[in-house]
Amino acid sequence: MTAAVSVALTALRVNALRSFLAMLGVIIGVGSVIVMISISQGAKAAVDAQISALGANSLQLRPGSSFRGGVRGGSGSATPLSDEDAEALRENVPFVIAAAGIIQQRGLTAVVDGVNWATEVAGTHPDYFIVRDWAIAEGRPFTVPELDGSARVAVIGRTVANELFPAGGAVGATLRINGVPLEVTGILAERGQSSWGQDQDDVIFVPTTTLRDRLGSVPAAGVRNPVQAIWLGIDRARNIEPATEEITDLMRVRRNVRLGAEDDFSVVNFAEFLRARSETESQLGLLLAATAVISLVVGGIGIMNIMLVSVTERTREIGLRLAIGARQGDVRNQFLIEAVVLCVAGGLVGMAFGAAGALFVESLGEFPVSIEPTIALVAIGAAAGVGILFGFYPAHRASRLNPIDALRYE
């Protein structure tokens, strides 16, 4: 086998330019496969991370559109939701293991020893961190008793911690918002950017009651204890669909929606939306991979053409080998090995170009990529398969030559 590979490499070096041009199709095909699969895998990993950031089994309840005096308002214009709605869902829907209303106020300024940082302040229930599956990296979350007592406490994101407490020591320290001192009880684990590009770590969470009663930044909404949305954590052993139905039924009763009337609220499943997007991206990835496979097939046809030319040029050599005792299988294997070596060499070059191309795409910031060792193995295996598939006919043709006719060939 070693001698056969050495002879194959020698034969390819004799016509180096022709060999390179023959490999070009394989190089492009393998490079394309690596780039497309890397982008597809990277996109899948990004979607999985986004689903994890939202909470794998979570729903969001929002006010819907209103219809008053014959005029329809936009989404969110209906009667706001309330803390009482969240409590009713937590107590009356078996599927719901956690429920947290949330109020978000952007552009508030946090101050620590003269250092200012404009950020988002969100008032919520301790269940929020359970629903979002958001771990506390340092310290602890605020508690239900602290919520009930409008305690001056806060949990901050990693970005806020870095900006206001660059030297560390945030847990137990005090920051001020609108002149109100708040004790930092915990720092959240880093989440990074959301799917819409927002820094999820640039946020301060306080109890809902604290935001309403002490920070005084929540406008009147016409209902008691209003919230902008309610996050719901669903039991992982249960299915999302029946949970959505029960939530919808309860909210229709609580909001006095007449039989047959349109819901004035909406239940949003972000995870399903992201999974649907992931499926679309996967289908696009398959189409791109199919294009790369076509490139490999075109490259294989080029390999077959070059190998047929090589058989014709080396007819006398083949006849001489057969005349001195080489078997047909030896000749066939020799040319088949040359085809495989040609394709694998092209595959290795294509793998390098493909990895470089994937990293270049990632550097542009447009697509996440994930280059895994298995991708390289698949690409090299595909190149070797192309060599065997398209090199077999020229090799078989060489092995079937008549020694006498081959020696007479000019």
* Non-local CB neighbours of 403 within 8 Å, separated by 6+ positions: 319, 322, 323
CA 187, CA 141: separation in Å to the nearest integer?
8
Closest among 16, 6, 30, 19 to 385, alpha carbons compared? 30
Query: What is this structure's pTM?
Result: 0.61
| Statement: residue 109 has pLDDT above 70 | yes
Closest among 402, 395, 392, 393 to 320, alpha carbons compared? 402
Q: Can you give the pLDDT at residue 177?
A: 93
| Statement: residue 240 has pLDDT above 80 | no
State the DSSP string of 75-123.
TT-SPPEEHHHHHHHHHH-TTEEEEEEEEEEEEEEEEETTEEEEEEEEE
Highest mean pLDDT among 110-119, 323-332, 394-403 belongs to 110-119
The pLDDT of 350-363, averaged and rounded, is 80
Neighbours of 166 (CB within 10 A): 9
How confident is the model over 160-170, as pLDDT tens digits? 999 999 988 99
Give the bridge partners for 177, in sequence order.
110, 180
Q: Can you give the pLDDT at residue 285?
A: 64
Can you tell me which residue has the tokens 């009667």? 79
Backbone angles phi, psi at 94, to 5 degrees: -60, -30
* pLDDT tier at 42, thresholds 50, 70, 90: confident
CA 121, CA 130: separation in Å to the nearest integer?
19
As a whole number, the mean pLDDT across the chain is 80
Highest mean pLDDT among 52-61, 143-152, 243-252, 303-312 belongs to 143-152
* pLDDT tier at 88, thresholds 50, 70, 90: very high
Question: What three-state secondary structure class fits 39?
Answer: helix
Neighbours of 286 (CB within 10 A): 12
| Statement: residue 215 has pLDDT above 80 | yes
Q: What's 65's DSSP letter?
A: -
* pLDDT > 70: percent of the chain: 80
Q: Can you give the pLDDT at residue 70?
A: 42
Can you tell me which residue has the tokens 């927002």? 198
Q: Can you give the pLDDT at residue 47?
A: 62
CA 139, CA 124: separation in Å to the nearest integer?
18
Highest mean pLDDT among 279-293, 301-315, 361-375 belongs to 301-315
* Pair of tokens at residue 186: 């915990």
CA 113, CA 136: separation in Å to the nearest integer?
25
CA 174, CA 110: separation in Å to the nearest integer?
10
* pLDDT tier at 406, thresholds 50, 70, 90: low
Q: Can you give the pLDDT at residue 149?
A: 94
